[in-house]
Amino acid sequence: MIWTILLLFNGILFFYFMSNRTRSKREPPLDKGVIPWLGHALDFGKDAAKFLTRMKLKHGDIFTVRVAGRYVTVLLDPHSYDSVLQDTTSLDFTRYAQVLMDRIFNLRLPNHKPDSEKAIMKRHFHGESLSCLNHNMQNHLQTLLMFETTATQNQTDWKHDGLFGFCYSLLFRAGYLTLFGGEQNNNCTDAAKVYKEYQKFDSLLIKMARTTLKSGEKQTAGSVKQRLWELLAQAGQRENSSLWLHSYRQHLEQEGADEETQRKAMLLQLWATQGNVGPAAFWLLAFLLTHPEAMRAVRKEFNSITLSGTTTLDPQKHTPVFNSALEETLRLTAAPFITREVLQNKTLHMADGQEYDLRRGDRVCLFPFISPQMDPEIHHKPELFKYDRFLNADGTAKEDFFKSGRRLKYYTMPWGAGTNACVGKPFAVQSIRQFVFLVLSHLNIELSDSEAQVPAVDASRYGFGMVQPIKELPIRYKLRERSNLQ
């Protein structure tokens, strides 16, 4: 009894202390919100982009907000981002990542060594190994696309679909076959089953991360994860899994992870490798289909680098127009939070000479979506899709962007930056390039309603990588009689 009372008393004291925090002179502006403990959690969760834009207008480029008992310092000046990204002593990437791993994947790795895992991934997603992965991915994409367009109906009939489901499903299944292996006959049942379950998992992912699942949803999430763990049980052990997954699984074994933990880690890797590529390809095709000038420019470029007599993209050839269209797409739709935990009190030096103290135990969050990506001072009319925004007049890649009269190091940041930047970027870019090339060269594809617009974003997903559309974009497609890009 006495222990219960003591614990309760401690809890109340802690709660009081947390709620009563005041700003010291050297700290960023503090905005606790009106609801005790919860602070701004509801607004933050509903639409982080809108909420943080409002806070930026109120407080400027740096401020601290209370979100469900935690204090988060948000930094929105891209000139100052390096003071966070370069500091791996006082600021830590892994702790918050581990919190999410536990919440979303029920995963606690014994002897977790993020650096070794990253080294394994770097080895397999660069150089010669990357060429091999790209080659396999290309083959799977081609097989699946052909099967999709020819299996169920007459080749000359239009097939109706939603563009998001079309892109996500094809890229997910091809990526799964390339990295995780599984049955590789024409209809690839394994990959389709995993995709079906993964969709359910993905629809609950944000609520899992925020621990806001309702009780019915908790049950669904539990059983979907269980099914995915079972479906992934053999990944990294079967012969046709990628060398990367074999090495990763071996590494887990050496670190003492039991069979169940290994399966959970497979789901984590499935999400890390497949969760963003499909949505990115969707947005790119959606913009191309709604911007004829951009579509013509990308087709023209692809045409000029197709290996003669084939419908194969020459992997060595540069595609600055495509790259710019992709960069522009990601500028508008990649919205990750870059979050670090403050391990020890630290002074943050802003580019304008200001200094702010950060408290141990708080979190620091960059949200490059607001700045640089949607910052009107950096990108003229940032809400518009301009496929050539990242091209110079001479057709080379444009890298000169300015804010406050100074050239920016970070003018768009879809892949993160610094030591924890995306390891899979070259694989992701090549997968999307191959996919768009295949779709444009093999299919007649058009919007079902020629007046349709790119759908709005599901605002609750801001902060979790690629955003997703609030609704489908209906399309129709059929195989071209002769594959070409005209």
What b/e sequence results for 319-328 when a residue is b if at least 16 CB atoms lie within 10 Å of its CB, and e otherwise?
bbbbbbbbbb
Residue 414 sits in the site that holds ligand HEM (CB under 6 A): yes
Minimum CB distance to ligand HEM, residue 331 (Å): 11
For residue 442, give both structure tokens: 């093999």
> Which residues fall within 8 angstroms of residue 285, CB to CB, at 6 or more apart?
163, 167, 436, 439, 445
Beta-bridge partner residues of 349: 355
Please say whether the beta carbons of 176 and 194 come within 8 A.
yes
Which 253-282 residues touch ligand HEM, going by CB under 6 A?
272-273, 276-277, 280
In terms of CB distance, is 93 or 477 closer to ligand HEM?
Answer: 93
> Which residues fall within 8 angstroms of residue 304, CB to CB, at 6 or more apart?
none
Quick one: angle between helices 94-105 and 189-210, nearest 10?
A: 120
Amino acid at the residue 138: Q
Task: Out of 145, 267, 422, 467, point to the residue binding ligand HEM (CB under 6 A).
Answer: 422
Task: Out of 427, 435, 462, 477, point to the residue binding ligand HEM (CB under 6 A).
Answer: 427
Minimum CB distance to ligand HEM, residue 96 (Å): 8
For residue 16, give both structure tokens: 């009081």
Minimum CB distance to ligand HEM, residue 137 (Å): 10
How many chain residues touch ligand HEM (CB under 6 A)? 24
For residue 415, give both structure tokens: 């892949």
In terms of CB distance, is 78 or 416 closer to ligand HEM?
Answer: 416
Minimum CB distance to ligand HEM, residue 26 (Å): 27
Residue 113 sits in the site that holds ligand HEM (CB under 6 A): no
**SS3 call for 261:** helix
Report whether 188 belongs to an annotated binding site: no
Minimum CB distance to ligand HEM, residue 130 (Å): 10
Task: Out of 26, 118, 135, 407, point to the residue binding ligand HEM (CB under 6 A).
Answer: 118
Please say whether the beta carbons of 313 and 434 come within 8 A.
yes
In terms of CB distance, is 125 or 478 closer to ligand HEM?
Answer: 125
Which 41-60 residues touch ligand HEM, going by CB under 6 A?
none
Largest CA distance in the chain: 83
Residue 367 sits in the site that holds ligand HEM (CB under 6 A): no
Residue 420 sits in the site that holds ligand HEM (CB under 6 A): yes
Report whether 173 belongs to an annotated binding site: no
**How many whole angstroms from its chain centre is CA 161?**
24
In terms of CB distance, is 120 or 289 closer to ligand HEM?
Answer: 120
**How many whole angstroms from its chain centre is CA 173?**
17
> What is the end-to-end Cα distance of the chain in Å, rounded?
79
Which 305-334 residues touch ligand HEM, going by CB under 6 A?
334
Minimum CB distance to ligand HEM, residue 368 (Å): 9
**SS3 call for 447:** strand
Task: Out of 45, 78, 336, 382, point to the residue binding ligand HEM (CB under 6 A).
Answer: 336
Which 434-473 residues touch ligand HEM, going by CB under 6 A?
465-466
* The one segment of 57-65, 118-126, 204-212, 447-455 that binds ligand HEM by CB under 6 A: 118-126
Minimum CB distance to ligand HEM, residue 463 (Å): 11
Amino acid at the residue 47: D
> Which of 179, 147, 319 has the alpha carbon at shortest distance from 248?
179
Please say whether the beta carbons of 203 and 215 come within 8 A.
no
In terms of CB distance, is 91 or 479 closer to ligand HEM?
Answer: 91
* The one segment of 3-11, 113-121, 135-143, 257-265 that binds ligand HEM by CB under 6 A: 113-121
> Any idea which residue has 């190994």 for tokens?
129
Burial of 157 (0-12, 13-18, 19+ CB in 10 A): exposed
Residue 171 sits in the site that holds ligand HEM (CB under 6 A): no
H or E element in which residue 476 lies: strand 474-479
Give me the half-sphere count of Cα atoms (radius 13 Å) on the Cβ side of residue 363. 21
Where is the binding site for substrate, in residues? 103, 109, 276, 363
Provide the binding-site residues for ligand HEM, judged by CB under 6 A: 114, 118, 121, 125, 272-273, 276-277, 280, 334, 336, 338, 414-416, 420-424, 427-428, 465-466
Which residue positions form the known binding site?
103, 109, 276, 363, 422
Annotated binding site for heme: 422
